[in-house]
Chain A
Amino acid sequence: MKPFRYDRAEDISGAVATLAREPTGMFLAGGTNLVDLMKLDVVRPDVLVDVRRLTSAEIEDLPDGGLRIGTAVTNSELAADRRIRSRYPALSQALLSGASGQLRNLATTGGNLLQRTRCAYFYDTTTPCNKREPRSGCSALEGCNSGHAILGASRYCVATHPSDMAVAMTALDAIVHIHGPRGQRQIPITELYRLPGQEPQHDTNLEHAELITAVDLPPAFSANSKYRKVRERASYAFALVSVAAALQVRDGVVHDVRIALGGVAHRPWRAEKAEDALRGRPAAHESFRAAAEAELAGAAPLRENAYKVPLARNLMTRTLLELSGER
């Protein structure tokens, strides 16, 4: 591992100011992904600014009925929180489907959002990768790409975002609080992440030294939500495809719906086409399947991952059916 300087600021403003002066520095939280990437020389920061003990580890009730999740809340604590479990079950399920008990006890909310892709070529420093080394090429495009993106990819990068938690938060319209060198801002989680385009080295729209301090969940529009994940093992594996959905049915008709997909794109994929296709339609198998097909009409599978298209379609259909009370 490349030597680095360890820094711990007094407070959030101090941490942001410190990192702003260190162009090759990074924030450190739980470290479960960053330390691993540093051991492999995939990421080589000169400075680590530890923010784990500076940032909030509390989950607060908001006046509007939503929740504010401090960025240092661990994945375990968030999944186990009674309010999350009863009002946002999809989020609890997503967290519990990720990693292992030990990792969830270290991993934080902000760190989970900012974890890097698990594309094997990104991890293998002997191969070209535009995300790791801009303009070096994409090895996955013609290589082993069974786990890669079917939506929104570019010829520069076909990697997927690995988080389960972020998929649920995308379906739940989460708002991300950011503290940076030029002040504070809030953005919807859908605007946090980028598609790869020509610059896949940037996973997010965060600028250098911008720190995620909290994530707000708006009042749950429906506690009838669910996260389903398909993977190669029963436990402790990243998603091939996952879906987070929340559904409101009135008199047999879809009143409103939220759907997000994981494992299919460079970012958690909000399925707006499917949502639009469902509002006002009967809450039944045919509409769910048609909506899923509408979302996936633009899918562009690679040599090894065409299976993800019917898998995503079936997973969306089945999850919505279950939420509608049908089996």
Chain B
Amino acid sequence: MDVEITLKADGTEHRIAVDPRTTLLDALRERLGIYSPKKGCDHGQCGACTILLDGVRVNSCLALAVAHDGAEIITAEGLTAGGELHPMQRSFIEHDAFQCGYCTPGQVVSAVGMLAEAEAGWPSHVTRDVSAGEMPLTDEEIRERMSGNLCRCGAYANILPAIRAAADGGRLR
């Protein structure tokens, strides 16, 4: 039986009835016409479907839409403000941080969410001392924190500098 839910996606509120089996990824792509989150593996392994869900990055392929009634979602499309690319998007272009581009919207959204987590002082697996107050966002930290986004073209060599430059450019959300 379909369930009525409300989703605010990239600034626009939508009221839709969904089969309970519908993931947020399928709701965005198939029902709302928002195609930037990509269906790569559909099992939470590749990160191509990454969105900001109520402000934090998640795999939209593993989140059931019915369980997130009322949620506020930002996709790579919604990162742009008034037609201006987000600094992270500009940095990916400037650093040629992609080949085929399929994983790119997920990479960009994940990087934006990742920097917010680092700014909030969240440690990572490579943080030497988790009890320390601050940790520098080294290249090793960025690699570890981005390990949930796979790029089968292997564009990591440019993705890392793109994120590095965007991070050094100032506060990013």
Contact = CB atoms under 8 A, between A and B. Distances in A.
A89 B130 contact: yes
A122 to B, nearest CB: 14
Nearest to B147: A235
Interface in A202-259: 234-236
A101 B110 contact: yes
Interface stretch (B6-14, B54-62, B82-90): B54-62
Interface in A94-110: 96-97, 99-103, 105-106
A39 B110 CA distance: 24
B34 interface: no
A85 B130 CA distance: 6
Q: Chain A interface: which size bin?
A: 35 or more
Interface string B55-89: 01111001110110000000000000000000000
A272 interface: no
Nearest to B121: A80
A89 B127 CA distance: 12
A215 B66 CA distance: 27
Contact of A101 (B66, B127, B145): B145
Interface stretch (B92-100, B112-120, B165-173): B112-120
Given A1-B21, A80-B121, A92-B130, 14 more contacts: A3-B21, A6-B3, A31-B67, A35-B63, A36-B44, A39-B43, A50-B67, A76-B117, A79-B123, A101-B148, A102-B59, A105-B58, A106-B53, A106-B58
27 contacts: A3-B19, A3-B21, A4-B21, A5-B1, A5-B20, A6-B66, A31-B63, A32-B44, A32-B59, A50-B67, A52-B67, A76-B122, A80-B121, A96-B127, A101-B57, A101-B110, A101-B146, A102-B50, A102-B59, A103-B44, A105-B56, A105-B113, A106-B59, A106-B62, A106-B63, A234-B147, A235-B125
Interface of B: 1, 3, 19-21, 23, 42-44, 47, 50, 53, 56-59, 62-64, 66-67, 110, 113-114, 117, 120-125, 127, 130-131, 143-149
Interface of A: 1, 3-6, 28, 31-32, 35-36, 38-39, 48, 50, 52, 76, 79-80, 85-86, 89, 92-93, 96-97, 99-103, 105-106, 234-236
